[in-house]
Amino acid sequence: MFFNKKNKARTIDTLIDKDITVRGNVTYSGGIRVDGSIQGNLTELPGTAGTLIMGNKSRIKGNVSAHTAIIGGDISGNIVCAEYLELHANAKVTGDIEYKVIEIHAGAKVYGRLKEVAKDFNQLAKKK
């Protein structure tokens, strides 16, 4: 369990441990922690407020969609974060990032463009 900025308790429903590699697209709801690697897109179920936590040695090669994300590893792909995105010092993102609120720690690397999402992002996503 961890606490977000608003002190609301969240849980980790899914764990991809350090010795696990997933090949293919992953869809999740609730909380997911990645300490291993994913070779494919990581997408939250539509209408859910998914939370992604990535450990320092984790890797994702694909696009990422999350409501809230705390990144400590490497992502090679684009990120769309509807609410809050935090990049820790070890984070490396090679791709474009769309966010509502972003926090970038000293040492984090971003090789791509940053774009603030529309305030009514969830309504835009439902229209698609």
The pLDDT, as a whole number, for residue 4 is 45
The gap from C-alpha 107 to its chain's centroid, in whole angstroms, comes to 18
| CA–CA separation, 127 and 85 (whole Å) | 23
The residues of the chain scoring below 70 in pLDDT are: 1-10, 119-128
* Coil/strand/helix, residue 114: strand
CB 77, CB 58: distance < 8 Å: no
The pLDDT, as a whole number, for residue 1 is 38
Number of C-beta neighbours around residue 16 at 10 A: 22
The pLDDT, as a whole number, for residue 120 is 57
The pLDDT, as a whole number, for residue 117 is 86
H or E element at residue 76:
strand 74-76
| CA–CA separation, 95 and 112 (whole Å) | 5
Q: What angle do CA 73, 50, 11 make, to 5 degrees?
A: 85
Sign of CA dihedral 103, 73, 67, 79: positive
